[in-house]
A and B are shown apart, each in its own frame.
Chain A
Amino acid sequence: MSNKATGITDQPTGSGRASSSSIELRLPSRLGYEKVAMNTAASVARLMGFSEERVDDLKTAVAEACINAMEHGNKLDESLSVGVVLSMDANSLEVKVTDNGEGPQTRTDAPDIDKKMLGEEEARGMGMFLIQALVDEAEWVSSPPQGSYARMVIHLSNPAA
């Protein structure tokens, strides 16, 4: 298992754009390491010209996706890694977070704070809601036995989530 960033690539695309670039990371399934992905995504987003507000949105979304992958996907098994692929083009930044699990079990609808206060809903379980609310596009794809991924995109043309 490699716990280090694995590389930066430039590759032609078939979408009419001159080229796109990507950065790949492999993180151990150990809480705290989501900050590596979070800070890398923030650096890339700043280089692309995103506002600090959008960078903050992306940081939280990427951190939550990595935590979900570590906790729910890989069950905190440190022999399994979480993959993070950042792909950028002129107008958007896509972050894909992969794990070995069967896909998310939690929910994307808004948490009900009243139910939480009454003990009718767990205090936790807000990660997917936050991801969906903070980025322009979010999807979760389950493809066992290969694993699952969360995909998030922010667009430069959309100044606010």
Chain B
Amino acid sequence: MPELVTRVTVEELPAPSGGDPITVMRFSGDITSASQPAVMGTYEGLPDTVKRILLDFSKVEYLNSSGIALVIQMMIAASKKGQKINSFGLSPHFKKVFTMVGITKYTSLFEEEATASAAFS
């Protein structure tokens, strides 16, 4: 049972109430230790002008602690660049897990994309 490939697509959306545009990283498949190139590679390919990042977990099928560590790595890098990260689409279980490990101190979790986007303003 090989791990499912991690796919990351990037979209740029205008902010709902003006301001900086929002860069959406949409994940699908598994996020595990094998996802480093997909997750960090995609993040590092974003232009430094990006200020608002939205993480879409709604199509993630499997996420383990190594995958969560990658999300933390991305948040560390984003923090150094002054970027703000919001997240949406996590299952109730992974919302609980993100809260348990403390990630919610550095990214806000939302149910829906619209509310996550609106929260940037």
Contact = CB atoms under 8 A, between A and B. Distances in A.
Tier of interface size on chain A: 20 to 34
Nearest to A127: B65
Contact of A130 (B91, B100, B106): B100
B66 A67 contact: yes
Interface stretch (A52-60, A89-97, A151-159): A52-60
Nearest to A39: B1
Most B-side CB within 10 Å, residue of A31, A33, A64: A31
Nearest to B4: A32
Nearest to B68: A126
Interface in A36-80: 36, 53, 56-57, 60, 63-64, 67
Contact of B1 (A35, A113, A117): A35
Contacts of B32: 31-32
B93 A33 contact: no
Q: A-side binding surface: helix, strand, loop or mixed?
A: helix
A59 to B, nearest CB: 8
A67 B64 contact: yes
Given A60-B64, A63-B64, A36 B1 contact: yes
Contact of A113 (B2, B73, B92, B105): B105
B33 A31 contact: yes
A4 interface: no
Nearest to A128: B65
Contact of B76 (A33, A56, A123, A124): A123
Give 9 closest A-B pairs by Cβ, nearest first.
Answer: A113-B102, A56-B93, A123-B69, A32-B3, A124-B69, A126-B65, A123-B72, A127-B65, A32-B2
Interface of A: 31-36, 53, 56-57, 60, 63-64, 67, 110-114, 116-117, 119, 122-127, 129-130, 133
